[in-house]
Amino acid sequence: MLEQLDLARKLNKEEYRARMKPLKFEMYEMGRAVHDSKTPVIVVFEGWGTAGKGRAITELTARLDPRGFRVYPINPPSTRELRYPWLHRFWLKIPARGEFAIFHGSWYRRVLIDRVAKNISKQEWRESFRDIQDFERTLADDGVVIQKFWLHVDEKEQKKRIKKLLDSKTTAWRVSAEAKMESAKYDEYALAAEEMFGYTQAEYAPWTLVSAMDRRGMYVQVFETLLARLRPFVGGHLIDLKPASEYDAQVLESEIEDAGEYRPHANT
C-alpha cells in the first residue's frame, strides 16, 4: 500500500490557500455538528517519527472548539498500566458523545514499535490484531466514528529530517529514541505497517495513507478525508458557512483562529 502513494505531489501556496480556506470553515462548523449530534469521534494519527503527526493535530485542533476535543499522546505503558490487559488504558480514553478523541500514536504501537523493538513476543503481537479488530468493532457498533491516518515519508526524507533536528541543540530533544529506531530499521518497520494495514483496514475503521513529504498537501488531505468521513453521521446538523463576501470571509476566519471567539454550544 505504501508503494502506491504519490510522494512527489506538492501544492504551491496559492493552491493550498484556495483549497484550505473552505475546509477550515467546514471543520469549524463540523466541530459544532459533532457536538450537537452527540457523535463520538476517534481520530488516530500514526506514521513515521518526524512525519508531522503533531503538526497535523495542531492544524486540525486550531479549527475546533477547545471544549470539544481531547488529544492523547501515547507513550509506553506505565508500571501501573502493565498490571491490566493491554487495551485497558485506551478504553479509559474513549470520547464522550459529541466529543473528539485525537490520538498522537495509539494502540497500534503494540504491532509497530513494540513488535520491531521486540518488547513483546511474536505470539503476543499477532494476537493483538484480533484484540484491535474486536476493540474497534465494539466502538463502531456503539456509534463511535473512527478515522485512522498514516503519515508517510520515504527513508531518505526521514533521515534528512532527523539529522536536521539533531544538528540543533534547540530541536534535538524532539527526536525520540523510537524515531531513531524506526530510521535504523526502516524496512522492518515499513513491513510491520503493511501487515498492520492488512489486518486492521475496515469499513468501520478505515486507514487513510497520507504523503507527508509536503506539509501543505498533508493538511489538505487530512481535512478532506476527515470531513468526508464525518458528513454522513452529522450532515443534518451542519450549517452552510460559505461567506457572502470577502469581508465576511475575513471576519469568519478571524473567529475560527481565535479560540476566545468561539460561539458557545447549547447546554455547555
Q: Residue 45's domain is classified under what CATH number?
A: 3.40.50.300
Is residue 122 over pLDDT 80? yes
Is residue 105 over pLDDT 50? yes
Total domains in the fold of the chain:
1
Is residue 261 over pLDDT 60? no
Query: In terms of pLDDT, which residue wins out, 93 or 241?
Result: 93
Is residue 101 over pLDDT 90? yes
Domain membership of residue 259 (yes or no) is no
Domain membership of residue 261 (yes or no) is no
Domain membership of residue 192 (yes or no) is yes
Domain membership of residue 268 (yes or no) is no
118 neighbors 177 (Cβ within 8 angstroms):
no
- For 76, other C-beta atoms within 10 Å of its C-beta total 12
Domain membership of residue 25 (yes or no) is yes
- Calpha distance 197→231 (Å, rounded): 24
Mean pLDDT of 1-16: 91
Mean pLDDT of 195-213: 97
User: Over the chain, what is the mean pLDDT?
Assistant: 90
Range of the domain at 61: 2-253
pTM of the model: 0.89
Which pLDDT value is given to residue 158?
94
Query: In terms of pLDDT, which residue wins out, 136 or 262?
Result: 136
Domain membership of residue 83 (yes or no) is yes
Please give the grid coordinates belonging to residue 215. Answer: 506539509
Half-sphere exposure of 50 (CA within 13 A, CB side): 28
Domain membership of residue 263 (yes or no) is no
